[in-house]
Structure 1
């Protein structure tokens, strides 16, 4: 007869551990999906394309083209070294092919500029060209430019997103990843602690997991977590329990150490790596 374990409490704790384990898998999957979605969208996104809803405004950024020559270098230095709160529209200019489109520049760091792109209710739908340049340095023919895609509503804006999370849920994939990571860690820690407590409860009742199950010719070699410290002696017969702790067979310990023991069992014996070994009263 094997040592008894309170079934209701054990099953309840096992249910909680299983739930946490499933939540961990879900959160880890979200972390992976968020990272993959963010990377594929980043690789495929055209950095020179701005998509905005007609009648709304959005923050945009881009690389400033600084033409060779004294004028461009001087104006760029003035803009970058201007006092906080300075109206940068006096240093950075723009031109566009779309009536109803306007820009207000709010920051410049090195070659990177940031600004507020506004589209009026009367602007025509479709693509328009946007050139950004320094004062006194009109855009050159080969200078890079931006394309502004004006869409009718937010549904069209969502449909244009390359990120699945942005397109379907309206959420940045990086926020999904960052939000899921701590939850995955917490659930994983809960599973680890519960598994540890469960193992301690099992050992206290004379039940231990199988550490190793290897085929050796005509028998299984079994290494399990009960030894002399738990009262096992060479030649002792112990019970084999399935993963639900139900008896399914027996084995005899032939080599016993402090914390582990070895046994050989017939190949026809019902046994698996997820099974347990228990002391007999």
Structure 2
């Protein structure tokens, strides 16, 4: 009758390593999904479209059209070189195709402007045209214009996002990626550290993993991580252990190197690349669970 072996320190470490491995995989998947979601949202998002909720305000930004004339260049230079805190509304103007929209400019950097878009409670739902231009330089027909899409509720705004993460979680996918990537790295480091400790512990008990398992006609060629430095000699008979470190067969060594050995195994022996090889049939069972 098999008896359950109580958990010890080594088993707890293995449980932690297994948990971290699963968490690392989850974080990697989330990081990849967030990156893909962010890229597809970037391709699909209309940079000239601003979604806003009626009765609320939102930060918007866009490219500033600078007419190729002396006045346009001069006004733009004044605005860009203005002192911090200067009211940029004196340099940049706007006009809309519908009442109820107002825009207060906060910053200008090169050709990029940033402002606070306010939508009144009486603003009509739907799309409205928004033109942004420099003082004294009303846009001509070739100047690009923005579209403000007025939505009734925050729920409608959330549903309008092209990013799945933004739509479902309310956060940009890039923030998800920046949050999950460090966690993925952290959990991976923990897994490698614990796996390294586990491997050192097994080697100290004369147990090593199988590095190579290849079919050679009527037998398996096996390469494993025990060698001359571990006390293995040619023609030694070692024990094959499964993933639970339970003996499932024997193996006869024909070539021994410093850190590895080679052996041939009959095709009828149950063996897997994820199995182990032990120097002793009984000692590993006593030491492994200590």
TM-score range, shorter chain: over 0.9
Match of 1:34 in 2: 34
Match of 1:202 in 2: 202
Match of 1:50 in 2: 50
* Distance in structure 2 (CA, Å) of the matches to 1:230 and 1:177: 45
Runs of 5+ consecutive residues of structure 2 not aligned to the other structure? 284-290
**CA offsets 1:225-270 (integer angstroms, 9 cap, x no match):** 1112222111111000001111100011111122111100111111
Match of 2:261 in 1: 261
Match of 1:107 in 2: 107
For residues 1-281 of structure 1, what are the structure 2 equivalents within 5 Å?
8-280=8-280
Runs of 5+ consecutive residues of structure 1 not aligned to the other structure? none
* Distance in structure 1 (CA, Å) of the matches to 2:68 and 2:20: 61
* Distance in structure 1 (CA, Å) of the matches to 2:189 and 2:45: 37
Q: TM-score, normalised by structure 2?
A: 0.93
What do you get for the CA RMSD once the two structures are aligned? Answer: 1.4
**How much does 1:137 deviate?**
1.0
* Distance in structure 2 (CA, Å) of the matches to 1:223 and 1:148: 67
* Distance in structure 2 (CA, Å) of the matches to 1:40 and 1:86: 38
* Distance in structure 2 (CA, Å) of the matches to 1:181 and 1:193: 18
* Distance in structure 1 (CA, Å) of the matches to 2:83 and 2:213: 72
**How much does 1:145 deviate?**
0.3
Q: TM-score, normalised by structure 1?
A: 0.96
Secondary structure in 2 matching 1:201: helix
**How much does 1:165 deviate?**
0.4
* Distance in structure 2 (CA, Å) of the matches to 1:82 and 1:194: 58
* Distance in structure 2 (CA, Å) of the matches to 1:164 and 1:273: 40
Instruction: Provide the aligned length of Structure 1 versus Structure 2.
Output: 277
**How much does 1:7 deviate?**
6.6
